[in-house]
Amino acid sequence: MKIAFIGLGNMGGGMAVNLVKAGHEVHAFDLAAEALDKAKGNGCAVYTAVRDAVQGVDAVVSMLPNGGIVKSVYSADVIGQAPKGALFLDCSTIDVATAREVGEAAKAAGYEMVDAPVSGGIAAANGGTLTFMVGGSEATFAKAQVVLEPMAKAVIHAGELGAGQVAKMCNNMLLAIHMIGTCEALALAEKAGLSMQKFYEISSKSTGYNWSLNDYTPAPGVGAASPADNGYQGGFASALMLKDLRLAMAGAQAAGATVPMGEHATAIYEAFNEAGNGGKDFGAIFTTL
């Protein structure tokens, strides 16, 4: 397939390369010259304008920073520029309302579209082991799978358009809550006289088991290797976690849902980011304890 890939940041760059490895012809666009140079070196054809990148393609994949940019790019440079019948896959993490609005606009113009946000982080993007949560019709999902599978360990149909974003906001709210609780438990164990390593050995095999503890341990030198062992560099930035939490809070308000733990996690990450820690991995919340 010919696939335009829009947005070659920390996640998108690795994702585009995995499409090349799968044998697809990838037309890559990014505002950063360095990202384009890297994509070119990895086998992508590079473009300096979105509307040029989408000419003649079978599908368009986007990985962009926020809903406003997604809406702007699709309305100005993708819808009406890509061939009629092309499949659009937005893998950005954005608000549900914008995902549905852009998808409906694409449909009205003769295109098929899914929202397909991801879970897994930079390492998974590079390794082709992301989990995709996909919103769209059954028929469109079936077509999207072909594009997504080279980048994925799992591609899951969440429901109709926008359902992928619902899944992502709920998943990352839960992740933030788990991470804070994991950090608190590790710190409490140490201060109460039990080494963090010994607590990890016990809790990781007990009912305290969770991904933040078992697979991404936020205390340096304890348990699984993670950005904690590298000064909390790399991984999933706290600023991005805060972005996702704010999307979840907006989603909760729109749905009339009560999320007290989510609200508290948001407040904790807001304070952490305001203290200048937005570039650190979200597990660095451990350092506040």
192-222 pLDDT per residue, tens: 999 999 999 999 999 999 999 999 999 999 9
116: Cβ contacts below 8 Å, ≥ 6 apart: 89, 90, 91, 132, 133, 134, 135, 144, 148, 164
Contact 227, 69 (CB under 8 A): no
Instruction: Give the residue numbers annotated as catalytic, written as ranges.
Output: 168
Task: Using pLDDT thresholds of 50, 70 and 90, give the confidence band for residue 121.
Answer: confident
The 10s digit of each residue's pLDDT in 80-101 is: 999 999 999 999 999 999 999 9
76: Cβ contacts below 8 Å, ≥ 6 apart: none
What's the pTM?
Answer: 0.93
